[in-house]
Every structure is written in C-alpha cells, then in structure tokens.
Structure 1
C-alpha cells in the first residue's frame, strides 16, 4: 500500500480530446505544439531560446508515449526510445467543460455530469440584476469590464480607471468563472475577498463554477497581479478520493490550489506557494513526513496562468524544463510501494487562437520504486476513457473504498 501522490501540471494537454470539435479545439495540442515550436527554432522570435524541448526525466517515464497514445504521432524530442520506466498513457475527460475544477474533480473520481453556467460573449456579458446586487452589497456605484477578457490585458487597460473610480474590474472567460480584479492597496485586499464572497453567494443559483479574486499592485512597469489570488468554488457533488481517504482517517495533504478547487472539502493539511518552485518545495518537504497510506495532491498552476493563457511558448517550455530538472528531488524521497501519478487537468495550447483553455487529453505517467503492473515495470496504459481512472487506481493502491467512477489500471 504505502503512499500515493498525484501531481497535476495545470493545463498540460497532449492533444485534442475525442470531442474537441464541440469546443472549437480540434487540432489543439499543448505539449505537441510547444515541442514542435522548440524543435523548429520558432518558440521565441527574440532569439532567447534555442534547441529542442529538453525534459529527459519525463521522457524516461514515458511522456512521449502519452503523446503517441493521444494523437498517434511522436512529438519532437519526446521519442519513446527514451522511455525506461513507469507506465504511460493518456486520458480523455467525460466531464462537461474544460476547466480546472472539472478536471481535478474527475481525477479524484467525481466527474461533472451537469452543465456549468457560462456567460455570453456579449458586452456587457453579466446580467444587470447580478451587477446591481453586487454593487449594492459591495458599496460601489458600478463595475468596469463586464466582458470576456484576458486578465493581464484588462488590468493593463482599466487599471487607471479602477484607481480613479474605485470600481472593481469584473470579467470572465470561456470557463464557468466570474473574476474580480482590484488593487490591493487602493481597493483593499480584504475588501476584494469580501466582494468575491458576495459574488459567490449571488452566483450559486446560476451554477457558476468559480469566483476568483485577482488582486494586483502598481509596479514601475504598470500593474502586476500578485500571488494573493483566492478561488471561491462550490463543493464537489459526489464523495471524492479525498473524502474517502479522510473518512477512514488517512492523512491527506493538498499542495498549491487544490484546497480552493475542492472548496476545502476533505483537503486535509493545505500548503500554499507563490509559484511553481515554492509549491514544489512544499511538496518535497511534506512528503518526508507523509505516513503509510497517506495521499498527497499537488497542483502546479504557473503552466496555466503564466504561460498557457498568456500564449507564451518559450515560457511554458522553460517551466516544463525546470519541473523536469527538479523531478529527481521528489523521486529520491519515494519509498518502496509508493505510487506517483503525473498528469494534467485540461489543455491551454499557447499556439492556439485566443487565451482560453483547450479541450485535450492529458498525460498519465504512473510510477514508483518497484511498482509493477501485471509483472511489468513498463507498460502502455493506452487512452483511458476518463480522468477518473487515475482516482480509481489510487483508491485501489491505498485500499480505499471504491468510488462510482473510473477503472483502475
């Protein structure tokens, strides 16, 4: 049994899902397109990046096989000839939507079988009744934005007006989300959080997945978002892998934004970090003390927020290489019998038009010291029908009660 670890590289898709066309994402391929741009020398026209994507540790665990299973093609620099250990494949999502909340819930064995509430691509895009109620309860006379937008772009565009009027900047995306940006000093961080709490209450009946506080500050170059982001979600509708572990008194450790995504339901000890490196540091430190039968769930969000949404191919590539270079630190702390699954929760192809997520399959890398499947130390997992197969596998490994979704591999 020993322990289990799930590490989510937020937005690392490996090719369009079978239903990608329904979402306008046929042909999207986050990892494949990044690898291709790097191999072509077209990842960064400024000339600051050179050479193919270099992730030897992930390749040795079968990352190239994940790409092959998802798309039928090999991504440049990720050939399966480097695959030495571990079990590799890809997984498609059955949940509706292509957001972090749905992806993480399905990984934990709770697919979303209902439709989230979304906002139209009109301007304004939010119902008048919602904005009026938010203004009245938040004690401001209006809001700025009120449309679909990139967070960094709308803050740059409306930051000055926000300081002048004191009105929060409200915007959304293709996801089921209502985002509120405000200056930490001029508007107030605690006031921003209280405003988001009001919005969460108002949006419950509309089945909107998340309200996100997006605080920012003034810098010498304009405005910059801070690490004080806070998500206000709704609890998962079914018992999750986390709650099944909690219910039999197993230790649960959540690192990164896992607590927010699960609405702090059965998320155990929650550890935060301001960026990928600090989250990774927290995970490595905590795993040294995680006992037998314990579960750790980690999210590394920078891939998505800093590079995917901002369509930054060289930044995404560099972040993958940094994670790969640090992966041995994690692996050295593993005990015999530990299970690790590295995966994604959706795609966010930085070569794709717009700034939204993309509907893609995600990689599934399962490994651990002396971990065999049917007597084999290396095996293709194929394309799994649901992210929930990962949760089912962890549940079987930790001898937790079975959930209602997913097939263990």
Structure 2
C-alpha cells in the first residue's frame, strides 16, 4: 500500500534564491528572520519535531546559515533538502502548480501599486454587470487590514471592498449577511470573466462577518482560478484510480482539476484536525494535499512575526499526532509554495527557497541536493505512488 501526503506551510521560505534581486528580495529569509527575532526576544524557537526531521539543516543548505536557536547538526530522521523555483513569479498558483509538475514559464498579469490599482474600464464594467454600489480600497493591501478599515462603510453603503497584492489576483470582500454570500460569488464570477484579457490568475471571494470595525473572514472563501495548462501530479493520480484529497484552498488553486474530494477548515488547526481524519480514511494510491494558509494570509502578509512564530510552534506540537497515524508505504513531504518574510518591507511574497522534508516509515534519513525546480517534489511522489511520471522534475528518493 502506497499513500502520499503534501503538508504545505503556505509561505514558509528558507532564504532568498539566487535570482531574488529580480524581485527586490535579496536578503529575505522567512524562517531565519523569525528565528532571529525569537532569539532577540530571549525566547529562542523550539520546534523539536521539525528540527529532528531536518528543517534547520534544510535551511542551512538553502541559505548557508544555521537559524538561531537550532543546534542539531546530525541524527536527523527525514530526508531533507531545499528547492528553487523555476516559474517566473513568486505567487501562489505558480508555486503549487510547479510542485505538481507544471512550472509557470509565462508571465502572469499584475495590477499596479497605484491607487486605484484596477483600471476604470474594468471596475466600470463590473459595476454595470452586477449593480454594485461602488468600490472601497482599490489598492494593494493585506486582506485582514483592509476589511477592518472599510468594513463599516461597506455595511453602510453596500460598496464592495476590492484589493490586490503581489499575486496575479483581484480580491473582492463583502459581508456575508449584509451583502450576501451568493451575491458575492456572482460578482466574483463576473469579475473572473472580465480579468481574462489582463491575464490574471485568480479572482478571490473574501466573505466576512462581524460588526463595528471588528470583522473576521470566514471559511467560505472561494477562488475563481485559471486551471493549470497541462496535467499535474493530481491528474496523474486521479486518472489512474487514486483519490486526490484537497484540504483548504488546494481545490481552488487547481481550479478543481485533478481533485476527488474537497475538505475545508477555518484555520490551520481546523485543517490539521481534518488532516488527521483524512489520514485514517485515505486508501491505497491516494494523494492528500493540504495548504496551511494562516502562515501566509494571517501572519506573512500582515508582517506579524510573533504570530508566525506561534503558528509554527502550534504546527510542530501537533506533528506527532499525524506521525502516529502513518502506515507502511506512506510518504510525506513538508514544503511551501514561496516565502512571505514577516520582517520584510511591504506585504507581498518573497522569492525564497522552499523546504523539501520527506519522511515516513520507509524513508532513509539523508541530505538531499538543492533542487532547481519545485517539480522534484511531484516527481518523487509520482514515483512513490507508481503513477505516470511527470513532464518536469526528478525523483529524489
């Protein structure tokens, strides 16, 4: 029996890549800078389970530096390495698709850092088609911040909150009760058609609840996304009879392509609970792919170093629960899709190496080379599951 699991810590980078200068990210290091911050606070990070698997050693391969507070130099229990992105961007879709064997070697369209960010012909046409009262925001922003900033006015006027980021994306936020969830989805569907000439990867519906300046996003987020341009690992597994279980936003990122079952969760810990349940249920030749989004959306983009550190400690503390459920033939990889250094200027992703930490009952601990494409992850899992090899990537185990 063979099963595979991808545990993706969204935005958990291990240090700038050699081409980071093209992105203004020379010196970015999500993990390293969080560890340095914690040490400066007099409370060095303690991630014993991740450290034993080889996290700090993988970061050393990527950056040439040992993260502060991490002292283990041998006796690791995982096969650990790091990977550089071949895709031309540092966005969510590119990272996920490349892991699954399809690097993005074309240029996405992006909205500028001007205010307004969206062209008038786009917003005017969207208003004409949907009857929205108008727009709030219309800029690059952190989603949680802009919702609290404009939530009261949105509720009072019915104007929708629109914003973008360093991703190829248009995000539209509205109150589930005052504006209506189905109405928000309809607006986003219209917007997705309108952004196609701009080569935008996603339109994201960002529903929220709350009142009086205290708002929270809900788990009813929905991404309207361009599908991958060719078959991914997910398609190979599903087409050959295996179940592909997407937890969190995985189904949205792949535009449902190659997905057998969708499981949602409101936050990292809810998704971890769901992962434990799925691990009990998943059958032979299954692929379980989970995106732990809070690292990125709640802490990376918001430049919340302390929150990011706390989330890593929460994840590390729960890993033994998952490990205890693994069976002979299981292969797990802990990885990421890009960086989002919470100590870095601005609120966008950072161009960084990602971790590749493989473990499971049959995995021999060792150091892996630094890969020149994230697709080595997908190629490794395809080989393990015995499905058709991917068009890109080299199996590492």
TM-score of the two chains, using structure 1 as the length reference: 0.94
What does residue 276 of structure 1 align with? 268
Q: Structure 1 residue 35 and structure 2 residue 27: aligned?
A: no
User: 2:327, 2:54 → 1: CA distance?
Assistant: 21
Aligned counterpart, 1:351: 343
Q: Which moved more, 1:98-107 or 1:210-219?
A: 210-219
Task: Give, in whole Å, the separation in 2 of the partners of 1:198 and 1:275.
Answer: 28
- Tell me, yes or no, if the aligned pair for 2:54 and 2:80 is still in contact at 8 Å: yes
SS state at 1:298 partner? strand
Deviation at 1:83, TM superposition (A): 4.4
After TM superposition, give the deviation of residue 82 of structure 1 in Å. Answer: 5.9
Aligned position for 2:382: 395
Give the secondary structure class of the aligned counterpart of 2:7: strand
Q: CA deviation at 1:151?
A: 1.7
Partner residue in 2 for 1:159: 151
1:301 corresponds to 2:280: no
Unaligned stretches of 5+ residues in structure 2: none
TM-score when scaled to structure 2?
A: 0.97
1:79/1:168 CA distance change after superposition, 3 Å: same
2:169 corresponds, among 137, 156, 177, to: 177
After alignment, is 112-121 or 124-133 more displaced? 124-133
Partners in 2 of 1:407 and 1:79 — Cα distance? Answer: 31
Contact kept in structure 2, 1:63 and 1:78, CA below 8 Å: no
Shift >3 Å, 4+ stretches: none
Whole-Å Cα distance in 2 between the matches of residues 244 and 359 of structure 1? 28
Residue pair 2:237, 2:244 contacting (<8 A) in 1 also: yes
Give CA deviations for 1:251-292 in whole Å, capped at 9, x if unaligned: 211111111111111111111111111111111111112112
How far 1:400 sits from its partner (Å)?
A: 0.8
- The superposition leaves residues 8-33 of structure 1 with CA deviations (integer Å, 9 ceiling, x where unpaired) of 00010000011111011110000000
Aligned counterpart, 2:24: 24
Give the match's secondary structure for 1:81: coil
CA deviation map 1:363-390 (0-9, x unaligned): 110111132xxxxx22111211100000
Deviation at 1:220, TM superposition (A): 5.9
The CA deviation at 1:156 is 2.5
**Would you say the 8 A contact 2:152–2:212 is kept in 1?**
no
Give the secondary structure class of the aligned counterpart of 1:353. Answer: coil
State how 1:216-231 maps to structure 2 within 5 Å.
Answer: 216-219=208-211, 222-231=214-223
The superposition leaves residues 188-247 of structure 1 with CA deviations (integer Å, 9 ceiling, x where unpaired) of 111111101111111122210111111222246532222222111111111000001111
1:69 aligns with 2:56: no
CA contact (8 A) 1:61 1:85 kept: yes
Aligned to 1:45: none
CA gap 1:207/1:77 in 2 versus in 1, 3 angstroms: same
Deviation of residue 170 (structure 1)? 1.0
Tell me the equivalent position of 1:336.
Answer: 328
Instruction: Give the Cα–Cα distance (whole angstroms) in 1 for the partners of residues 206 and 10 of structure 2.
Output: 18
The alpha carbon displacement at 1:295 in A equals 1.1
Q: Give, in angstroms, the shift of residue 79 of structure 1.
A: 3.1
Distance in 2 of aligned mates of 1:251 and 1:303: 27
- Per-residue CA deviations over 1:67-117 (Å, capped at 9, x if unaligned) read 101100100122342642111010000112111111111100111111101
2:132 maps to 140
Q: What is the rounded CA distance, in whole Å, between the counterparts of 2:274 and 2:241 in structure 1? A: 22
Task: Tell me, yes or no, if the aligned pair for 1:95 and 1:113 is still in contact at 8 Å.
Answer: yes
Moved more, 157-166 or 306-315: 157-166
Unpaired stretches in structure 1, ≥5 consecutive residues? 42-49, 372-376
Aligned to 1:369: 361
Given candidates 173, 189, 207, the residue that maps to 2:181 is 189
- Name the SS of the counterpart of 1:314 in structure 2: helix
Size of the alignment, in residue pairs? 396
In the aligned structure 1, how far is the partner of 2:331 from the partner of 2:142? Answer: 37
